Amino acid sequence: MHTGDASYIRQLNRKIILQQIMQHKSISRAEIAKSTGLNKATVSSQIADMLGEGLLLEQHAEVSSGGRKPIYLSFNGSCGYAIGVDIDVNSISIAATDIKGKIVAKEIHSIEDSGFLAVEEKLKTIINKMRGTLPESKYGMIGIGIGVHGIVDNDQTIIFTPQHQWRNIDLKRSMESFFQVPVIIANNSNLCAVAEQVFSSESTNLACITTYSGIGMGIIIQGMLFQGFEGFSGEVGHMIIEPEGRTCTCGNKGCFEQYASEKVLLQEIRERIGRLDLPLEELHQIIEKGGAEVEEVIKNYTTHLAIGVNNIINILNPEKVIINCEIFSYHPAILEKVEKNLTSIMNHRKELKISTLGKNACMLGASASVIKDFLKTDHIVFSQV
């Protein structure tokens, strides 16, 4: 118990005030005191500290309702920068955001050698390069968040990546030693779920399904990321939906992601029309045009995707199910086909929708996690970038 601990109470009050400023973007001391129930002296003392730390900015109101013009407080976004990274099968996406979550730089780099040591060296190079381009600021690079398409335990050790076949890797320690800043390693789908909550003002009870090279899921329950006993929750891509089906890299057969990932859908369309090297832009045109062969592939795909979504809804009963899939962003009508397959009276959810963050989600979730730790607050909320 922290009862009577003055430093704990002070830290708790700081969190409350920070969250009020985030929620309102711009707010006066009096408004903070009124909305939180904290006395004005406590609010003023905390604000003075954060102004001294360079975290906040003050601005006089342009219009006054009489008397002194109020002074509004907002975050000083340019006082520091977070790096968010998404290590996918064939590429590394990296973005830098200010502490208000605004993207200030973004790059994509191909992976030529997927061995861990080669990828680790590439990570160090591209992060170092991006750090060198960041504007001058009081805190500089405040931390690095890295999303991995695989299993990450509660100690942030990479247990296994099905695509790269990495096992028991402590990337966190080596990166912290190299960069001398805090580093967060997390499952990419978990970070996508965090991003949906932080940047899209989504529900405090949601499931975010990512369906790019594989399938994963991040789960937010009562505003908190649910990670399971050892941190392995959300590996829905490896639930079996076709007994004795296609062989999966995880060692099982008939896994969900072998039938319903975006990678599988695009590959099957290419195979069906006999164009294995068909560029993505032309693929989108073919999907838009339709035709019997393409429609058959999409029907099989949406049927299998609906099976998995049905299972997820029945197990979790989330308020919202968000699907992060690039193909849906281009062809939202495909989601309608999935919904038509969700006919069970047990499918209670408020909304099934397409993510508006797309491929930025993992990087933004990684960056948001770094910022949350830097600010030492439990929750953060930003405007969509």
User: How far is residue 244 from each of residues 13, 164, 211, measured CA to CA in Å?
Assistant: 56, 24, 22
What's the confidence (pLDDT) of residue 59?
Answer: 87
What's the confidence (pLDDT) of residue 190?
Answer: 97
Whole-angstrom distance, CA of residue 79 vs CA of residue 371 = 12
Phi/psi zone of residue 87: left (φ > 0), alpha (ψ -120 to 50 degrees), beta? beta
What's the confidence (pLDDT) of residue 4?
Answer: 55
User: How far is residue 158 from each of residues 148, 152, 162, 219, measured CA to CA in Å?
Assistant: 8, 5, 11, 19
What's the confidence (pLDDT) of residue 66?
Answer: 56
Q: Mean pLDDT in the chain? A: 91
What length does the chain have?
A: 385
* Domains of the chain, CATH where assigned: 6-75 (1.10.10.10), 80-194+363-375 (3.30.420.40), 201-355 (3.30.420.40)
- Please say if the pLDDT value at position 3 is more than 60: no
**Span 176-182, average pLDDT:** 98
Whole-angstrom distance, CA of residue 143 vs CA of residue 181 = 5
Q: Is 284 within 8 Å of 331 (Cβ atoms)? A: yes
The DSSP secondary structure of 189-212, one letter per residue, reads: HHHHHHHHHHHS---SSEEEEE-S
Strands 216-221 and 224-226: antiparallel
- Please say if the pLDDT value at position 304 is more than 70: yes
What's the confidence (pLDDT) of residue 1?
Answer: 43
What's the confidence (pLDDT) of residue 202?
Answer: 65
Of 4-8, 225-229, 234-238, 356-360, minimum mean pLDDT range: 4-8
Express each pLDDT in 97-131 by its tens digit.
999 999 999 999 999 999 999 999 999 999 999 99
**Span 249-255, average pLDDT:** 92
Express each pLDDT in 326-384 by its tens digit.
889 889 999 999 999 888 777 766 789 999 999 999 999 999 999 999 999 888 888 65
Express each pLDDT in 61-76 by its tens digit.
765 555 567 899 999 9
**Span 164-171, average pLDDT:** 95
- Please say if the pLDDT value at position 151 is more than 50: yes
